[in-house]
Amino acid sequence: MFVSLDEHDLQVVIDAMDEKKVAPNEFIITEGEPGEVLYIVENGELKCTKVIDGAEKFLKDYKAGDVFGELALLYNAPRAATIQAVSDAHLWVLDRNTFNNIVKEASQNKRQKYEQFLSTVTILKSMDHYERSKMADAIKESKVKKGEVVIKQGDLGETFYILVEGEATANLNDNPDKAVMSYKSGDYFGELALLRGEPRAANVIAETDCKLISLDRKSFKRLLGPLDKILQRNMDHYANYM
């Protein structure tokens, strides 16, 4: 959410935050109530639940680095779920005014820019609007020139990439002139090292100037965890080439 901010605006947001410490079982947000602040987790664990068909359903955990409560501010809607502390937790709180004046505009621009694109990425089609919104907040943009190495075989993998514009190919060190995979807009790569915890299996080279979006390891696990089975299945496809 905050990656869209420039250095000055980011410092303004940091200065505006208040500290909040909560105890186990304490409720921070209650479904249906109005929302005036968002929260950032510095440490601790919290759980998110929602009443569905009359029964409380667990949705997800929140841990260090996660943000919650922003949807009520973005859409001027009641809280969509309940957040309760599982352990002692240290939170940072940002008020509606600062959020609206600085964060909201930058965040909405980025969301609008990438939500539609993400819906066209085959692996992400099963995501709902909320999940794609969270992913749009977390992604980072980058550009590479023709001939630049995006991923180097043997390096530790910490990033998952989706190609937005341009073309790229993958090759292996023992036969660099042979492309084993080709990538175009909407294709993704870099997930194998994150799923397996192994070094990069191939080089990925930009064949044209490219625009990329990426997720770091933590965001990849948090946001794409439900897609693990599909991603794992795709490993068999890669094995035919590598």
- Cβ atoms of residues 211 and 151 within 8 Å: no
Token digits for 113? 């820019």
Q: Among residues 213, 64, 212, 211, which one has the least CA distance to residue 138?
A: 213
Question: pLDDT digit of tens for each residue in the chain (242 aa)?
Answer: 676 677 788 888 999 999 999 999 999 999 999 999 999 999 999 999 999 999 999 999 999 999 999 888 888 889 999 999 999 999 999 999 898 888 777 777 778 888 889 988 888 887 888 888 888 888 888 999 999 999 999 998 889 999 999 999 999 999 999 999 999 999 999 988 877 788 999 999 999 999 999 988 888 888 876 666 666 666 655 554 44
Domains and CATH numbers, the chain: 7-103 (2.60.120.10), 139-239 (2.60.120.10)
Q: Among residues 215, 237, 74, which one has the least CA distance to residue 170?
A: 237
Query: Which pLDDT score, from 0 to 100, does residue 228 have?
Result: 67
- Partnered with residue 37 across adjacent β-strands are 95
Eight-class DSSP state of 100: I
Q: What stretch of H or E contains 229?
A: helix 228-239
Q: Among residues 227, 166, 167, which one has the least CA distance to residue 191?
A: 227
Query: Which pLDDT score, from 0 to 100, does residue 71 have?
Result: 87
Query: Which pLDDT score, from 0 to 100, does residue 235 have?
Result: 60
Global model pTM greater than 0.85: no
Query: Which pLDDT score, from 0 to 100, does residue 241 have?
Result: 44
